[in-house]
Amino acid sequence: MIRKLLVVLEQRDSRIKKTSFEVCSIAAKFAAKNKVEVVAIAIGDEITNLSAVSDYGISSIIHVKHAGLALYSSSAYKKIILNYINKNAIDYILLTNTAFGRDIAPRIAARLRFGLLSDCISLEITPTGFKAARPIYSGKAIQEIETIGNKGIATIRANVFPAAIQSVSANIMVQKPELIDLSNRTVEIIKSDGKIDVSEADIIISGGRGMKGPENFHLIEDVAAILGGALGASRAAVDAGWRSHSEQIGQTGKTVSPSLYIACGISGSVQHLAGMSTSKYIVAINKDKDAPIFSVADYGITGDLFEILPVLTDEIKKLNNRF
């Protein structure tokens, strides 16, 4: 019997997010390796890049379209997704481990009584459902877990799996929702000045209490600008009112996994590491050679960030000019 897998896509501002394309790539691999039938569902109004889903190996795309669904509504989205799953006997569901995925996945799992594996950094289909690895205890250990009963839902950590191009033809079916329950809905999304969102960024430069004040963050903004990266912050910097909460990385902030994470004046508390320790390359700048951040760093610079950051900026500019 062919098993069925549903990818629940995430859209923001009428565009499918990059992290959803990563999830599509995983689903496409399962389709080839485990012979599962894959369908992706997107809920929203206009979605300008929906056909791009087929660049990541999924041709069957359902678009549940309605102006009232442009912004996320947990009540409406849940009912639409459950309706689709029940009608189509879906066995596996994949989502991003973003605020959207973390909100909707448990609601669906509880209703269906499917096992939920969240924040996965590896995932496979087994005879009993899904088997995954996920960081626990603020990233200090990796837990291996699996679902039972041949069914499962998993949310995938961003930037861990590549969004691999594998173009197939797109077959987009637009449907009207049967019911729209907007009892829980997003009223407004307040944008952070058009800056790159840390949870989507491939390069992040973060500042902590060692930055000494909001007026000094231009030093890391300069590095972020020339590297095309996003600016992050420790909770100490956010609690002090120097940076906005949308930039906070860690246990009570965002979980990120960029290719490059540069931590400036951040000590490396377990709560901060919980949000960034799976980054591919970590660079730490700290004047304390015993700071815990150095235990996870691939490259460490011991010294005063106020001397180091301007030099770093100049050197990167020189490199950029050379190539």
Could you report how far apart the first and last alpha carbons of the chain are, in Å? 54
State which residue, 115 or 250, has the beta carbon closest to ligand FAD.
250
Residues 237/209, Cβ–Cβ less than 8 Å: yes
> Least CB distance from residue 308 to ligand FAD, whole Å?
7
> Least CB distance from residue 297 to ligand FAD, whole Å?
12
> Least CB distance from residue 272 to ligand FAD, whole Å?
3
> Least CB distance from residue 264 to ligand FAD, whole Å?
7
User: Does residue 79 touch ligand FAD according to CB under 6 A?
Assistant: no
> Least CB distance from residue 300 to ligand FAD, whole Å?
11
Beta strand 92-96 with 4-8: parallel, antiparallel or unpaired? parallel
State which residue, 76 or 291, has the beta carbon closest to ligand FAD.
291
For the chain, the C-alpha Rg in angstroms (whole number) is 21
Beta strands in 18-168, from DSSP E residues, in sequence order: 37-44, 60-65, 92-96, 116-120, 122-126, 129-136, 141-146, 152-156
Beta strand 230-233 with 260-264: parallel, antiparallel or unpaired? unpaired
- The mark string for 200-219 relative to ligand FAD (x by CB under 6 A, - otherwise) is --------xxx---------
Size of the site for ligand FAD (CB under 6 A): 28
| Interactions with ligand FAD, residue window 254-283 (CB under 6 A) | 265-267, 269, 271-272, 275
What is the C-alpha separation between 129 and 115, in angstroms, rounded?
9
What is the C-alpha separation between 204 and 239, in angstroms, rounded?
20
- The mark string for 222-241 relative to ligand FAD (x by CB under 6 A, - otherwise) is ------------xxxx----
The helix/strand/coil state of 175 is strand
Taking Cα atoms as reference points, which of 198, 122, 197 lies closest to residue 160? Answer: 122
- The mark string for 83-102 relative to ligand FAD (x by CB under 6 A, - otherwise) is --------------------
- The mark string for 284-303 relative to ligand FAD (x by CB under 6 A, - otherwise) is -xxxx--x------------
> Least CB distance from residue 271 to ligand FAD, whole Å?
3
Residues 56/161, Cβ–Cβ less than 8 Å: no
What is the C-alpha separation between 192 and 205, in angstroms, rounded?
16
Question: Which range, of 72-80, 105-113, 114-122, 245-253, touches ligand FAD by CB under 6 A?
Answer: 245-253
- The mark string for 168-207 relative to ligand FAD (x by CB under 6 A, - otherwise) is ----------------------------------------
> Least CB distance from residue 281 to ligand FAD, whole Å?
19
For residue 172, CA distances in Å to 6, 51, 54, 197 come to 14, 7, 9, 28
Backbone φ and ψ for 121, nearest 5 degrees, come out as -115, -5
State which residue, 11 or 267, has the beta carbon closest to ligand FAD.
267
Backbone φ and ψ for 290, nearest 5 degrees, come out as -95, 10
Specify the amino acid at residue 138.
S
State which residue, 208 or 300, has the beta carbon closest to ligand FAD.
208
Out of 97, 248, 257, 278, point to the residue binding ligand FAD (CB under 6 A): 248
Q: What does the binding site for ligand FAD look like in residue numbers (CB under 6 A)? A: 208-210, 234-237, 248-253, 265-267, 269, 271-272, 275, 285-288, 291, 304-306
